[in-house]
Amino acid sequence: MSQLSFVLKALIVGFLTLLLLIPLSMINGTIRDRQSYRLQAMEKVERSYAGQLKFAGPVLIVPFQDVETVITVNDKGEEKQHKEISDSFWIFYPKTLDAKGGMVPDNRAVGIFNVRTYEWNARMKAVFDFTTLDSGNPLVKRSLGSPYLSFLMNDTRGLKGTPKLKVAGESREIKQGAGGHGITSKEKGLHVSLPKFALAEPQKFSVDMDFALGGTESLSFVPIADSNKISIQSSWQDPNFTGDFSPRNSKVDENGFVANWDISSLSASAQTEYRNMASLESIESLQVNLMDAVDLYTQLDRASKYGMLFIVLTFVGFLMFEIIKQLAIHPIQYGLVGLSLAIFFVLLLSLSEKIDFMWAYLTASVACIGLLTTYVSSVLKSFSRGLGFSAMLTILYGALYGLLISEDNALLMGSLLLFTVLAAIMLATRKVDWYQLGKKPPETV
């Protein structure tokens, strides 16, 4: 191969490499479409089952009315009395709140897509300790209205079955609607009517509730009490603890996870946000997500981004064979090999939607490596060279699989792979005299 033909071949190969960006981008677009379809499947499940749940409560609402006797004096010095009535309410938060329960994960199939759902079977106990206050003004007569406990939920369809609730050991009926005061007047939820309290007398009672919440992928819980202790356990092995509070301690292993939160109102602003009538979604909360650490379409998207690297490395390998073994490989043969590498990602996408990702990857890899081994053995005019080429591809596919299943070390493994490949190419060509490329060897006398 002359230097001119080598440069021309390199330019053609470079053009083919850029041309292969078209099918790779189409494959990547198909993966993004699949991600979009999966989101639509999740929305469909949320419409029919329940969405990502957020729960707050219990909070005690005590309405009261002040009737003030106002005395006015007219121009003639005559006194007149009239009543001014004002309505307001108190918000009392629990002194302590303990909630614990197990999350049971499940899948709901929508076509070829699986959407993660759960059911949290919980037991909660809240203790209230407060005193309603008199007006402190002899001209103002204060009377208490009917108090109620309020529970907020962003999606009440997530309530599974009928909760059991007791106040001071006595069963109480749970009703629809969060109530009619402050934030409770505009949010979804539940409420429990209570008997009227005596004015200016200390009150202390407990609220015990057994309930089940079902939702899609994530559960949020608002630490509304002065002292909150929440415990959640599940058989799910890849939890993601997000929200505004991390667990105080957690354990994750092959049996699932256990997470415990211990949150004080001194470190949380949930009570202030509730009092200021912010929406439920804006109130601080802890959150548990039952999601795959690296889900299918994240893996596929990451794989497709390495497609160009595969093609470049394969073409570089072909060029090395042409230079070192003085073989002539036609640009069409380069293009066919590049297309077969691109087809691998289509196979991986279609198979992984039907079978486990590991087996899909293995099947697609074996199919493509087998095809390329047969074809390249003929192109390189040696079955042993074809086996060597397939060994290189096997190493590349194995390294890519390690990248795809790794959540925390993908960048490290990718950089080590690139360094290893570059080092191998440099070592293989270290004795090539690029200036003498294509020149005839001197004749011996």
Distance, CA of 105 to CA of 114 (rounded, Å) = 12
User: To the nearest 5 percent, what fractions of the chain are helix, strand and coil?
Assistant: 40, 35, 25
Fold adopted by 53-290: Immunoglobulin-like (2.60.40)
Establish how many alpha carbons lie within 13 A of residue 428's alpha carbon, considering only the half-sphere containing its beta carbon.
Answer: 16
- With 50 as the cut, is the pLDDT of residue 43 above it? yes
- Tens of pLDDT along 253-302? 989 999 999 999 999 999 999 988 768 888 999 999 987 755 777 778 77
- Range list for CATH 2.60.40 in the chain: 53-290
pTM of the model: 0.75
Characterise 173 by phi-psi region: left (phi > 0), alpha (psi -120 to 50), beta (else): beta
pLDDT digits (tens, 9 = 90+) for 146-175: 999 999 999 999 999 999 999 999 999 999
Question: Rounded to an integer, what distance in angstroms lies between the CA atom of residue 126 and that of residue 151?
Answer: 12
pLDDT in tens, 78-124: 778 788 899 999 999 999 999 999 999 998 878 777 888 999 999 99
Sequence letter at residue 63: P
**59 with 91: CB under 8 angstroms?**
yes
Q: Which residue has the tokens 């109130």?
A: 283
| pLDDT higher than threshold 80 for residue 441 | no
Which pair of structure tokens corresponds to residue 10?
Answer: 């390199």
Rg (C-alpha) for the chain, rounded Å, is 35
Mean pLDDT (the chain, rounded) = 85
Cβ atoms of residues 46 and 82 within 8 Å: no
Calpha distance 46→216 (Å, rounded): 7
Q: Report which residue type is found at 425.
A: I
Which residues is 85 bridged to in the sheet? 67
The residue type found at 200 is: A
Query: Cβ distance 197 to 290 under 8 Å?
Result: no
Taking the C-alpha atoms of residue 91 and residue 96, their distance in angstroms, rounded to an integer, is: 15
pLDDT of res. 4: 61
Please tell me the predicted confidence (pLDDT) of residue 6: 65
Please compute the mean of the pLDDT values over residues 168-188 and round it to a whole number: 85
pLDDT above 70 covers a percentage of the chain that reads 91
310 confidence band (pLDDT: 50, 70, 90): confident
**3-class DSSP assignment, residue 390:** helix
Which helix (H) or strand (E) segment holds residue 438: the answer is none
Q: If you average pLDDT over residues 302-307, what whole number do you get? A: 77
Q: HSE, CB side, 13 Å, CA atoms: give it for residue 285.
A: 23
